[in-house]
Structure 1
């Protein structure tokens, strides 16, 4: 699936966030209303901007 966050897919950040969301969904603590790729990518982008601002 195409999404605007492709550049993050191979990062460690992507892996960690995806795993965390998977755990939350499995425990029924959150419900995914859009694609996992979009959710994970959104968080990666937001967190990457925080890191850039701190540099």
Structure 2
């Protein structure tokens, strides 16, 4: 499936976030209402920007 977060799919961050969301769904802590790829990708993008900003600001 094509989505704007494709570049993150092979990262460790993607795997961790996807697994965590899967666990929350399995425990019925959250309900999936949209594509997991978009949610995981969005979180990866947000966290990646935070890491980039922290690296710049040292």
Give TM-score scaled by structure 2 length: 0.92
- Aligned residue for 2:47, secondary structure, equals helix
> If you compute each CA radius of gyration, which structure gives the higher value, 1 or 2?
2
Q: Which residue of 1 aligns with 2:14?
A: 14
Moved over 2 A (4+): none
Structure 1 unaligned spans of 5+: none
Aligned-partner Cα distance in 1 for 2:31–2:2: 21
How many pairs were matched up?
Answer: 55
Structure 2 unaligned spans of 5+: none
